[in-house]
Amino acid sequence: MLLSLACVAALHAQPDPREMAVRKLLQSTIMINQMYVDTVNMDRQVEDAITGMLSKLDPHSAYTNAADTKKLNEPLKGNFDGIGVQFNMLDDTLVVIQPVANGPSERVGIVAGDRIVTVNDTSIAGVKMSREDIMGRLRGPKGTKVRLGVVRRGIGDVLSFTVQRDKIPVKSLDAAFMLRPGVGLVRFSNFAATTHDEVTGAIRELQRQGMKDLIIDLQGNGGGYLNAAAELASEFLDKGDMIVYTRGRGGMNMGEFRSTGGGLFTKGRLVVLVDEYSASASEILAGAIQDHDRGTIVGRRTFGKGLVQRPIDLEDGSMIRLTIARYYTPSGRCIQKPYAKGDAKSYARDVIDRYNRGELTHADSIHFPDSLRYKTLKRGRTVYGGGGIMPDIFVPLDTTRYTRLHRELTARSYVNNASLHYMDGHRQQLQQQYKTFEAFNTGFTVPDEVLDGMLADAACKDSLKAKDEAELTKTRRDVARIIKGLVARDLWDMSEYFQVIYDDDPVVAKGLEVLGKGDD
């Protein structure tokens, strides 16, 4: 009798649909591998299957193979194994812009301006080798050695160096400097494992220089680690202030982050600069600052990424980044912009669509439904969810800022190459003439012959010419500023580059104007 009852129960038991689906996928994979008429690359088939499944979900769930996963993680981990040089390609030759301070290359005597022409006796100069291939030859596990053949200006023979690879730091901090007395600016490119320490170190240094008010530049910052954003936001908020919270399937509480108190900059006036490419962790920081009325958000509506991904490492080094939750700003806003599952193409076009609708140039072209209206936590100001962080002060995209000729010259590397050629022939002279950046910034002007040569080269090779005298005049002025910034970068670092470039940045200018009015 007991046996009969067990059999009846088994007959009526409903199989788990999810388990059946997994068995179906496994069975299909085995059959294709064993029976298909031609040999099948099963690794590729499995990767395609994973990619196909994820493509039907949200736009941020994704799969990366082992090689791409390594490239993706390096900027966020804060280091990689290599020889420690910043370089650029000039006439198919690797030119060292700067060796990393106290890095492997600097320790053996490689200097700025050196040309690396061979790696382990294999020529990399004049052979049109891709940048990725060159980097692959220079990088390698810590402790391994690589032989470099180097050509140095003024020395006829090829110099030989053996460099022992080491851990090379990858900095997320782009710039930190005083914009004017009392006002500092920090800019960083992502939210990585080292971002909090880098940015707080920069703020402390600016405070030592007399900084009272701070501008945080998140323009173009695509985000990174949620934890890094929460850590940094804690430096500007009072103890216990909500920074961000997350909700998973069915509204399940997946965690929250609050300010730990004792922050580095909780009293001075604060301005945060954003644009349409500020995303993810950038929006967490900007949203927390805005919701607590801690500072002023200046710029254009941010990207609108309010989904949280969990990295799932697979045994072959590949990785799935799976969306597991939505995050919410302190006022309760989810700022994820709308998307249709499986339609990544339309999602990727969103910024272009914003431009076509006039949203990047006119604030009144941006519309939010009343159902997405929220209030800030201290002043009760109206803010909106459902599609990025709308700034408190809108700065339109200046579509006339750069001429057509300027854009073409930049896209085809004429501007960058003009800077590299000039530095190649004048590095020592410039180093001797300008001992400080301040002397350089006030005293250096890009020579006319540099601009003339670049324009002549572009006209000869690609028929790039100004349509009239007005376009030519504006292009020369704006390109000269870019080249001056690139020269400053090569002589010093990225902070000096941005000090030159930001002299004409409308969003930075608006941030300074806000502080000048005494807003907070």
Residues taking part in catalysis = 280, 291, 305
How many beta carbons lie within 10 A of that of residue 496, not counting itself? 22
Q: What residues are paired with 309 via a beta bridge?
A: 323
Q: What residues are paired with 258 via a beta bridge?
A: 242
By DSSP bridging, strand 173-180 and strand 85-90 are unpaired
Please report the sign of the dihedral spanned by the C-alpha atoms of residue 103, residue 104, residue 107, residue 109: negative
What are the backbone dihedrals phi and psi of residue 191, each rounded to the nearest 5 degrees, phi first? Answer: -110, 95
CA distance 217 to 190: 11
CA distance 143 to 183: 43
CA distance 163 to 114: 14
How many beta carbons lie within 10 A of that of residue 303, not counting itself? 25
CA distance 133 to 5: 67
Q: Is 439 exposed, middle or buried (0-12, 13-18, 19+ CB in 10 A)?
A: exposed
Contacts by 349-357, CB closer than 8 A, 24 or more apart: 350/304, 351/276, 351/277, 351/303, 354/276, 354/301, 355/397
How many beta carbons lie within 10 A of that of residue 14, not counting itself? 5
**Token representation of residue 195:** 């971002």
**Token representation of residue 247:** 């909700």
CA distance 358 to 18: 46
